[in-house]
Structure 1
Amino acid sequence: MKSLGTIMVMILAAILLFGLSAAQGSTDTKPLQQMLDSARAVEAPVFAPVTYLKAARKLDEIREAIRLEKKQQSIDQLVSDFNGYAENALKATGVAKLSLSEYLAPRNKARAAKAQILVPELYQKAEDQFIKGTSKVESGDVKGGLKEAEKASPQFDTAEMEAIRVDVLGNADKLIAAAVADEATKYAFTTLDKAKTAREKANDILNGDRYERKQSVAFASRAEYEARHASNIAQSVRALERNDQAWEKLMLGYEIEMQKAATAAGVDLLRFDNGPMAAADTLVARIKGLKGKVSNLEESSAGMQKESEETSSKLVNQLQVTLAHLGEADNGQDPLVLAQKLDDKVSEFLAQKAQLDSMMQAKQGELAQLEKTHEEVSAELQARQAKEEKLKQAKTMINPSEGEILFNATNDIVLRLTGLAFASGKSDIADAQVPILNKAIEIIKLFPDSKLMIEGHTDNAGDPGNNTRLSEKRAIAVMQFIRQALSIPAEKITSAGYGSDRPVASNATADGRAKNRRIDIIIMQ
């Protein structure tokens, strides 16, 4: 299944091809703007900033040329240049995302937490550092890009944490600040302290596990309530034009007593953040509702008693009839005794049935195991036959001078391309190499669900470090060729270069060195 990034790349490629044919010979820049917008949708300004900027500037040049009514030939050339930059920006974006894949998660988490909105300065600082990494990758310095992107990871992590904190505690902090502005520190100190304590508990929970939303939100909500409560008390006390904190204690004393009554009535938290009158109204409404329920229960109780007696009589009659059918006649009137006698008889029958069921299940289990074994053996045989047929077919698709097919220690298929000769010290794929790679692609198609590892190898001539880097570049070049040809998702194909560390022949002879200079395509089973 193609990844979202791969699908977006394919869509953009189609748009580019359409835009090239539609925009040339025309003065309508709308298709070009749509191409630029599509590149922005896959974050080309972040992952290919230099090339994307060139495309954007080239579009400005096109619009200026159209405004100045320059020759159509000049405009077409600008359009061609724009399409080149746009296409390169798209390719560079794909390469950067692949190269920096291990550092994308912290950025994605920060964006998921809306850090760019809630804590824009922190997020932008991390984004600027990350763009340093993508810029280096875009320029070809992948290792330098990895180092810069690694520096951005803790910055994105901090931005994510602070965004979550603002999301959970932001409203509580505003309400606490409002309570302080209402002089709650003077007139409602205890209630304000409750708000601050609840806020700190929520913050402690987030510090321990930033994704624990349930408990942290619960404490944040409590902090919001206590902050509003403190504001209400402070405003009420200030209205008395007194500076005696005893007024708060007096009000809290009344609230404590009202809460006792509310708890007895089934109200766990009687809210005072809208004033004592609203709290009293809530309690009165609750008590009235309870009275109505009690009255209804009393009326239905008498009817239920009568129905219970009638039901008991019917039950005794049914139990007596059932026991008679089972050969256990009994004229007793106690439904519990009759029910126990019937239960004993049923238990006896169930025990017999259970014994028969157990015997049947044992036989069915044996049969099922035999069927399963048969299916497994058949499936394994079919898989082996299919694999052998594919291998036979694959071996007919490549000449011995081009390469060979064999198995490694883990039973994976190794397509060894000893005939894929690169120019000395080069990693670019030449036209002469394309036929062999096309054959390799056709062989890979025989195993469509397999993951691929592209390995580059050299002989021992020259500097080992240079050989390793050269083998890495050659492996990446082949990987990109195959990935582009088959639209393989990034998670299903990787590459590595081993230099001269894994020879398959002696480096003492020219023939052996030629065999060691190779590309191995590992088709994982």
Structure 2
Amino acid sequence: MRYLRYACTLAMLVPSPSAAPLIRGSVMKLMNRISTYSIAASFFLVIASASASQAIKTSLFQQALQARQTAEAVQASLLSPRNFSKAMKFYAGAEQKFKRGRNLASIRTDLAAATQNFTKATQASKRAQRQLAALIKTRGDAEKVQAARYSSALWQRAEQKFSKAVGDLERGAHKSAKRRAAEADRIYRDAELNAIKSSYLTEARLLLARAEKLKVSKYAPKTLQKSRMLLQQAEKALSDNRYDTDLPRNLARRADYEAKHAIYIAEVVKSTRAKRLTTEDLILDWETPVKDIAAAADISARLDRGYESPTEQIIIYIEDQQSRSQRLGQDVNTLQAEVQQLQRMLGGVSKERVALSGRLEAQARVREQFEQIEKMFSRNEARVYRESKEVIIRLVGLSFDVGQSTIRPANYRLLTKVQQAIQAFANSNLVIEGHTDSHGSDTANYALSQRRAEAVKQYILANSRINASKIAAVGYGETKPVANNETTRGRAKNRRIDIVIRPQLTGY
């Protein structure tokens, strides 16, 4: 404004026509500066306004956004579509109203409705995850083999049944939801079966045909024959039990792998012959990866007696690192929980300090007892873990005959150690958990895992003074794997009994 007044004054004081051009030039310069300052001021006002608007939106939408993110984390759009869709409509409506500068009260009303429906969707999704757990797993299995691509018609039918089952569950129509879930489960399995045949078996057949053209049987006959046998087993498994797709899927993948393996071996043999390499050259070449892996584990690989010794050392090293990592993770979780508890209790009255002292003493006793139990078992007998307030003894050395639940005499010594470990935590509650791998039907696996858990429970009761009310047996079937079901070693780890000890200590 100062510049504007100055310009006007100059204009009024023009002394003569000869001085006019000079004065006009000065005035124009001043007007240009005024215009520039006005534009800059407008620009900064726009930025400030946008920033303030975003801050208001962040504050206004925060609760609804958190509710939305929580719902999305539990797949609410899939498991509670009605509630989630309703919530999204309110949320989108609130965004549009905010964008158009509508009344804040109206926006808050929409956001409150969105939050309420997102919360309903989250709760409904969690119920669905519990009540439709088997169906969700079956759908996931079909999804993994790309049933939507290889068996699109069946997949669409199954998806429709799934949506109706979820909708029934949302409305509280449990009987209808259960019936439709069973129908969807069957169709998903059919879609998965078709997809396996179309993808895995077809791929293996194409690879075997390629191997024939390359005359692989001349160079790798054993590996090629293994692929053929696995393919036949996969086809037979699919025909014998169409509802257990885990086994045929695994067999098909292995057939696929062995066909590729045979082709690779044939190429190596051809290359070896072309380069006129000796057997010694091959052995020295193949020793290099073993040495490199051993060196990474700080192990000196001595191969003067073959691969067995360094291989075993490397396996032990890896298993130790896995156990250590798991232990450290458990310790971190425990310590974080303790820190939070301490933060809540510190600074309180004398009574709270006494309770804190008792809690710390109880935790110290648990740690000491845990270390004692850990030392009782060899690595081939059991692994001992801590999860929050629980102590878990994973009986890796306890085995059953195929499909059986009878305790064998060979396991008596290990179970005696288990009883001694349990005694270290007097009056604790115990849960014997039975687990299986993924081969076999879900129903059969649940039943087998329950029988095995019950057998261990009865053995412990018969050979100790534990109160029967303090011990429970639960079978989980294949639902809680700890390793990859696609490998022999992984399936062996998943077939297990876990002893879960829940200490009953004062202050703990």
TM bucket, shorter chain: 0.3 to 0.5
- Normalised by the length of structure 1, the TM-score is 0.35
- Normalised by the length of structure 2, the TM-score is 0.36
Larger radius of gyration: 1
